[in-house]
Chain A
Amino acid sequence: MSARGETLLWMAQRASAAVLAVCVVVHLAVIIYAVQGGLSAAEILGRTRGNAAWFAFYALFALAVTVHAPIGLRAVLIEWLGWRGASRTWFLVLFTALLAWMGMRAVFAVFA
């Protein structure tokens, strides 16, 4: 990849990290609240389903994860497994697609 391409990856990684910093803190607060309440499936889904604001928040969260995780994984694959070339790129593209699909499905399952 070119210097320009790799710079864009770095920028995307830092930008998604900043978004995730906020999302993670909010998410952990929400989860602690839910766990302490001992909520059942019906109770949780009752509050989350049809909620547009939370849907948007978690969609953004899932998107940020989809950007951030594969770029981080890429560094580990190169440096610890010595994996270079097209096969690594394809693996990462597939992994990103998987995360995107599963993430959106999860967001829809809980918030739509």
Chain B
Amino acid sequence: MDGHASGVRGVCVKKESSYWVAMVHRVSGIALTLFVPLHFWALSQALEGEARFDAFLAWTREPLVKLAEWGIVLALAAHLAGGLRVLALEFLPWRDWQKTLTACAAGLTLAAGLAFALAL
């Protein structure tokens, strides 16, 4: 990469909303990819018998774990909303501004609603 102006640092650039939706989509995807194997492992504890599974369920009631769960639900909702946005952009007739707005709204609604419900 010799000669590229990658070393040209300057003022912080203001990015448009599509960039942030895409970034959230990517970061939440990474978080979910790390979480899912753990989730599968935890569930397979049920194979060891109910006592093991019960012990695990007790652990999930700890406040920090509940917080992490809420974070995962948020990540899932955000990733779903961002994904729906991509599908809309790639497969539906083209409209420029509606896509980002819709996705943001949908994501926030979905995430807020579910997170709240889980917290109950």
Contacts and interface: CB of A to CB of B under 8 A. Distances in A.
Interface in A41-62: 41-42, 44-45, 62
A9 to B, nearest CB: 14
A73 B90 CA distance: 20
A98 B26 CA distance: 21
A99 B32 CA distance: 12
A109 B44 contact: yes
A99 B44 contact: no
Given A21-B83, A40-B54, A69-B32, A14 B90 contact: yes
Interface stretch (B6-14, B45-53, B92-100): B45-53
Interface residues of B, number: 34
B50 A28 contact: no
A17 B46 CA distance: 28
A35 B118 contact: yes
A70 B32 CA distance: 11
A18 interface: yes
B41 A45 contact: no
Nearest to A10: B90
Given A21-B83, A102-B44, A73 B54 contact: no
Interface string A60-86: 001001000100110010000000000
Contacts, number: 81
A42 B54 contact: yes
Contacts of B73: 28
Nearest to A28: B114
Contacts of A28: 73, 76-77, 114
A12 interface: no
B71 interface: no
B34 to A, nearest CB: 10
Given A28-B73, A76-B30, A102-B41, A36 B47 contact: no
A108 interface: yes
30 contacts: A14-B87, A20-B80, A21-B80, A21-B84, A24-B80, A25-B80, A28-B73, A32-B118, A40-B57, A41-B51, A41-B53, A42-B50, A42-B54, A44-B53, A45-B46, A65-B36, A69-B29, A72-B29, A102-B40, A102-B44, A103-B40, A105-B44, A106-B41, A106-B43, A106-B44, A108-B47, A109-B43, A109-B44, A109-B45, A110-B43
